[in-house]
Amino acid sequence: MRKTLIFFLLLFAVYSNAQQTQRGRCFELQNGDTSNIPGVLILGSSRQVISVSDAQGAFNWPKDSLITGVKIPGYRLKRVKSPSAFLWLELVQQTTQLEAVEIIFERSDIELSQLSIQKSEVLGAKYLMKAACCNLSESFETNPSIDVNFTDALTGAKQIQMLGLAGPYALITKENMPYLRGLSGSYGLAHIPGAWIQSIQMSKGAGSVLNGFDSFSGQINTELYAPENAPSILWNTYLNENLRNEYNLVLKPSKTLIPMVILAHVSINPLQEDLNRDGFADIPIGEQYQCMPKFSYQQGGFEMQFGAGFLQDTKYSGQLGAIYNGSGVAYRIGIQQQKQELFAKAGYVFLKHPGTSLGSQFSYSTYQINLNNGSHAYTGNQQTSYMNIIFQGIFNTTAHAYKTGISMLQNTILEQYKQTFNRLESVPGCFTEYQYTPHDRFSVISGIRADFHNWYGIQVSPRLHLKYTPNSAITIRASGGRAFKSNYIFSEQMGYFSSSRIWAIDSIPVGIITGLSNSMPYDLHQEQAWNYGINLQWRMRWFERDAFLLFEAYQTRFEQQVLPDMFNSKQYINFYNVRRSYAHSIQSEMRCEPFKRFHIMSAYRYVENKAPYSGQFRDVPFISKHRAYFNISYETRLKHWFLDATLQWHGSKIIPNLNGTFNKSPDFAIVLSQITYKWYYRQHESDAYIGVENLTNVKQNPAVWSADSPYSNRFDANRIWGPIYGRMLYFGIRYKHR
pLDDT at position 86: 65
Residue 7 dihedral angles phi and psi, to the nearest 5°: -55, -50
State yes or no: pLDDT of 621 exceeds 70: yes
Portion of the chain with pLDDT greater than 90, in percent: 53
Residues 110 and 129: beta-carbon distance below 8 Å: no
Model pLDDT for residues 345-369, shown as the tens digit of each residue: 999 988 777 778 899 999 999 999 9
- Which residues touch 177 (CB under 8 Å, ≥6 apart)? 343, 345, 361, 363, 386, 388
Model pLDDT for residues 364-385, shown as the tens digit of each residue: 999 999 999 999 999 999 999 9
Q: How confident is the model at residue 64 (pLDDT cuts 50, 70, 90)?
A: low
pLDDT at position 21: 64
Q: Which secondary-structure segment (H or E) carries 10? A: helix 2-16
Q: Which residues pair with 601 in a beta bridge?
A: 591, 631
DSSP letters for 116-181:
-SS-EEEE-HHHHTTTT--BTGGGGTT-SSEEEEES-SSS--EEEEETTEEGGGEEEEETTEE-S-
Angle at 711 between CA 709 and CA 713, to 5 degrees: 90
Q: Bigger pLDDT: 70 or 339?
A: 339
Q: How long a stretch of residues is the chain?
A: 738
Q: Bigger pLDDT: 245 or 1?
A: 245
Residues 630 and 617: beta-carbon distance below 8 Å: no
Model pLDDT for residues 510-569, shown as the tens digit of each residue: 988 776 656 678 889 999 999 999 999 999 988 888 899 999 999 999 999 999 998 877
pLDDT at position 38: 85
Q: Which of 326-335, 630-639, 699-708 has the lowest mean pLDDT?
A: 326-335
The stretch 479-501 carries a mean pLDDT of 92
Residues 468 and 445: beta-carbon distance below 8 Å: no
As a whole number of angstroms, the distance between CA 243 and CA 245 comes to: 6
Cβ neighbours, 10 Å, residue 528: 20
As a whole number of angstroms, the distance between CA 571 and CA 280 comes to: 22
pLDDT at position 14: 38
Model pLDDT for residues 74-98, shown as the tens digit of each residue: 788 877 776 545 677 787 776 544 4
Model pLDDT for residues 307-327, shown as the tens digit of each residue: 999 999 999 999 986 544 445
- The domain segmentation of the chain, as residue ranges, is 2-93, 222-737
State yes or no: pLDDT of 163 exceeds 60: yes
- Which fold is adopted by the domain 222-737? Maltoporin; Chain A (2.40.170)
State yes or no: pLDDT of 228 exceeds 80: yes
As a whole number of angstroms, the distance between CA 462 and CA 145 comes to: 25
As a whole number of angstroms, the distance between CA 392 and CA 400 comes to: 11
Q: Tell me the pTM.
A: 0.83
Model pLDDT for residues 237-248, shown as the tens digit of each residue: 999 999 999 999
pLDDT at position 96: 47
**Which of helix, strand or coil describes residue 204?**
strand
Q: How confident is the model at residue 605 (pLDDT cuts 50, 70, 90)?
A: very high
Q: Bigger pLDDT: 30 or 203?
A: 203
- Which fold is adopted by the domain 2-93? Immunoglobulin-like (2.60.40)
pLDDT at position 15: 40
Q: Bigger pLDDT: 644 or 105?
A: 644
Cβ neighbours, 10 Å, residue 97: 6
Q: Which residues pair with 617 in a beta bridge?
A: 612
Q: How confident is the model at residue 234 (pLDDT cuts 50, 70, 90)?
A: very high
State yes or no: pLDDT of 181 exceeds 50: yes
State yes or no: pLDDT of 400 exceeds 70: yes
pLDDT at position 108: 61
**Which of helix, strand or coil describes residue 400?**
strand
- Which residues touch 16 (CB under 8 Å, ≥6 apart)? none
- Which residues touch 462 (CB under 8 Å, ≥6 apart)? 3, 4, 7, 8, 446, 447, 448, 481, 482
The stretch 130-158 carries a mean pLDDT of 85
State yes or no: pLDDT of 689 exceeds 90: yes
Q: Which of 135-139, 230-234, 404-408, 715-719 has the lowest mean pLDDT?
A: 135-139
Q: Which of 317, 389, 364, 439 is nearest to 178 (CA)?
A: 364
E strand map for 63-135: 69-71, 75-81, 87-93, 110-112, 120-123
As a whole number of angstroms, the distance between CA 632 and CA 625 comes to: 24
